[in-house]
Amino acid sequence: LQNSDAMELDLYKTEAFPDLTRSSGVPTFSLEDSLPSYPVPKLSDTLDLYLSSTRPFLTDSEFAATRDLARQFELGIGRELQARLEQRAAEQRNWLAEWWRHYAYLTNRTALHPLLNMAGVGPYHHQYWPARDGSATERAAMMCRYYAVVWKSLREQTFPVDKNAAGKYMSMEQFRRYFSSCQLPGRQADTLASHFRPRSEGASPRHFLVLIRGRMFSLDLLDEAEQPYTVAQYYRQLDRLVKTVESSADSSEMGDASFSAGSAAGLYGLPRPDWFEARRHLGSLSPVNQRNLDLVEQAIFVLSLLLDERGCSNKRLLELALTGDIQSVVPDKSCNLMVTGDGVWLNNCGHTPMDGMTIALMTYYVEGQIYKTQVRLLAIVDVKMYSLDCASCV
């Protein structure tokens, strides 16, 4: 970590960010069965909301006609349909979730990138990490460490359970799908595969993917004991990959770490039926192909180093996140992290496994780790430099 990444911080106190390694006493996923089910709104409320949403777009006569139709619906077939919804709600934990995921997301037949995924620019460069040329690998190593800590907190269920403004606990179910989730293409409809498990429920994948100029690599995010590596260890691995790609070295030098070329990565941007056929064909050609497809599917997240992007405007940053090079993102994956050559962070996340607030909360906890790192750096004062007599060293 370089001193130029340490800044004076005065917007937050360290205590504002909880320690993810210590349990609050409420395991992360322990309250799901006790939370109330999603209610079916009253038919009258649904129609009132519908009418209020149409009012700005209709003339007075058009709105009057629409209001009459809504009244007819309420007194007619609407009653039967409302009763069916209420019956479904009485039989299922959540009457809407399955329909919403299937019809809003999984039956989409267009490419996920850029039409369905969520994308944005990380907040970190505004306060902690101003753009600095050549900082991508260094900051990527730090981010690997931060995300490993978050992963482990979810795995051990020490990640805090979210609350609303009234202090009531919220569902954490979507956090199960933040890591190691993948939207698998289908001919008529996709499926959502989620491989993350809390420790009490079994094993979880430990690897993540790295994309550099169309080359794809797999690295372990945690060791065999599921402990995060040090920032220096992440840095050495990432730096090795960058130097290999920049020197155009043959992928065989990387052994099992390198498993995909840019031409294959681009297939993820096909319309879903085409990608379904291509993926199935690739898997049938070779067991190695199928192994690599499985590695992508199960990876914790994707880290993309955009080494050639520097000095980007806000518009360009958002373009990179949402509509950038398809070889720099795996749209099927739940979490794609991207960093430019000067250390600015972007993300591209699947909308099928989670909503935007899940990403916002995750960003908050990552920001907390970055903040605490900066505070520790600023606490190192009065550093004395000592010279070594190298001639007397053995």
Question: Hey, which residues does 7 pair with through a beta bridge?
Answer: none
Q: How many CA within 13 A on the CB side of residue 241?
A: 29
SS (H, E, C) 248-284: CCCHHHHHHHEEECHHHHHHHHCCHHHHHHHHHHHHH
Q: What are phi and psi of 118, to 5 degrees?
A: -95, 150
Q: Cβ distance 302 to 335 under 8 Å?
A: yes
Q: Is the dihedral of CA 47, 50, 56, 62 positive or negative?
A: negative
Q: Which residues are catalytic?
A: 351
Quote the DSSP letter at residue 227. P
Q: Identify the three-state secondary structure at position 302.
A: strand
SS (H, E, C) 42-63: CHHHHHHHHHHHHHHHCCHHHH
Amino acid at residue number 282: L
